[in-house]
């Protein structure tokens, strides 16, 4: 499927990030390969929330280099990961082979993935840092619902739209700078760096969209899913704002006086009837 200018630019940016992330201590590919019991920090957090995945057909949307996807495989799921970055999918296949963890990986743009993968799954999973790359949350929800078998479970943990609306360059106050709601026009950024550096990308320009929590919930309900849970969190796995500090559990929190002011992440559960 031909990509529009925004998603082409985003894909070029993600393609560039893959070799940087492969060598990054954040993804710790060597550690994941060396220890067959190792899970990504994300899946270690999500596993008790999502429940038993063993024997389930699990689809991971926007799977990047497949570390989370393969972590679900280590917990017994039969996994498929999709992502529009061919280098990311190649890296995921390499990680699967090197670690001896079985997984299937498919190159597909999110909105085009039902055409590339006409199958149903018991669980559809999406991890942090995915929805902000998508222009249309209602069409996304239709994709999610279409992939679920009857009775199937969708689980997502995402950065909270309130977090994405904050000025991450302000080091003390919580300043709302970006739209909370989905907008037709994307938020444009020119950042050659990446969260799992060091290293810089050639294609620095990216286009992102925020999606309000109500928009996400309504889109999933309108796509035919039943929301069965929604939790908001005061913590992150990364330093999302300069004033955050890291706890002994490795997670990042706002200073005490700001901690109850804004949610930073959410988890949402939904079932296809």
Ligand X SMILES: C[S@@+](CC[C@H](N)C(=O)[O-])C[C@H]1O[C@@H](n2cnc3c(N)ncnc32)[C@H](O)[C@@H]1O
- CB 67 to ligand X: min, Å: 6
Query: Is the CB of 58 or the CB of 128 nearer to ligand X?
Result: 128
d(CA 110, CA 80): 14
Query: Is the CB of 28 or the CB of 42 nearer to ligand X?
Result: 42
Alpha helices in 173-266 (DSSP H): 213-222
State in Å, rounded, how far the first CA of the chain is from the last one: 31
Binding status of residue 80 toward ligand X by CB under 6 A = no
Beta-bridge partner residues of 246 = 252
Beta-bridge partner residues of 188 = 207
CB-CB neighbours of 63 under 10 Å: 28
C-alpha 179 chain-centroid distance: 20
Binding status of residue 67 toward ligand X by CB under 6 A = yes
Residue in the structure block whose two tokens are 């940016």: 13
Query: Is the CB of 127 or the CB of 161 nearer to ligand X?
Result: 127
What is the pattern of x (binds ligand X, CB under 6 A) and - over residues 115-154? ------------xxxx--xx--------------------
Torsions phi, psi of 162, nearest 5? -65, -40
**Binding to ligand X, residues 19-58 (CB under 6 A):** 42
- CB 248 to ligand X: min, Å: 23
Beta-bridge partner residues of 156 = 126, 268
Pick from 88, 91, 137, 220 the residue near ligand X by CB under 6 A.
Answer: 88
Query: Is the CB of 110 or the CB of 254 nearer to ligand X?
Result: 110
Beta-bridge partner residues of 57 = 78
Beta strands 187-190 and 205-208 are antiparallel
Q: Which residues contact residue 184 at a Cβ distance below 8 angstroms, ignoring those fewer than 6 apart?
A: none
Binding status of residue 85 toward ligand X by CB under 6 A = yes
DSSP single-letter state for residue 176: B
- CB 255 to ligand X: min, Å: 26
Pick from 77, 110, 131, 264 the residue near ligand X by CB under 6 A.
Answer: 110
- CB 265 to ligand X: min, Å: 12
- CB 261 to ligand X: min, Å: 25
Pick from 46, 68, 158, 215 the residue near ligand X by CB under 6 A.
Answer: 68
Beta-bridge partner residues of 235 = 253
Binding status of residue 84 toward ligand X by CB under 6 A = yes
Binding status of residue 7 toward ligand X by CB under 6 A = yes
- Contact residues for ligand X, defined by CB under 6 A: 7, 10, 14, 42, 62, 64, 67-68, 83-85, 88, 109-110, 127-130, 133-134
């Amino acid at each position: 499927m031909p990509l529009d200018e925004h998603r082409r630019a985003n894909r070029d940016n993600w393609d560039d990030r893959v070799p940087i992330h492969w060598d990054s201590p954040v993804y710790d590919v060597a550690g994941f390969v060396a220890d067959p019991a190792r899970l990504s920090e994300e899946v270690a957090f999500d596993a008790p929330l999502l429940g038993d995945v063993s024997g389930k057909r699990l689809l991971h949307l926007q799977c990047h280099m497949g570390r989370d996807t393969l972590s679900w495989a280590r917990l017994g799921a039969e996994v498929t990961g999709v992502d529009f970055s061919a280098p990311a999918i190649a890296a995921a296949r390499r990680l699967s082979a090197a670690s001896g963890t079985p997984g299937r990986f498919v190159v597909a743009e999110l909105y085009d993935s039902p055409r590339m993968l006409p199958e149903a799954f018991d669980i559809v999973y999406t991890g942090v840092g995915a929805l902000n790359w998508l222009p249309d949350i209602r069409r996304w929800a239709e994709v999610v619902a279409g992939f679920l078998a009857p009775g199937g479970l969708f689980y997502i943990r995402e950065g909270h739209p309130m977090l994405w609306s904050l000025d991450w360059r302000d080091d003390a106050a919580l300043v709302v700078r970006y739209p909370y709601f989905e907008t037709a026009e994307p938020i444009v950024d020119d950042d050659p760096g990446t969260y799992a550096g060091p290293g810089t990308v050639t294609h620095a320009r990216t286009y992102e969209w925020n999606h309000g929590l109500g928009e996400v919930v309504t889109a999933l309900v309108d796509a035919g899913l039943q929301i069965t849970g929604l939790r908001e969190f005061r913590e992150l796995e990364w330093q999302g704002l300069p004033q955050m500090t890291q706890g002994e559990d490795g997670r990042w929190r706002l200073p005490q006086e700001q901690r109850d002011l804004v949610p930073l992440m959410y988890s949402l559960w939904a079932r296809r009837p």
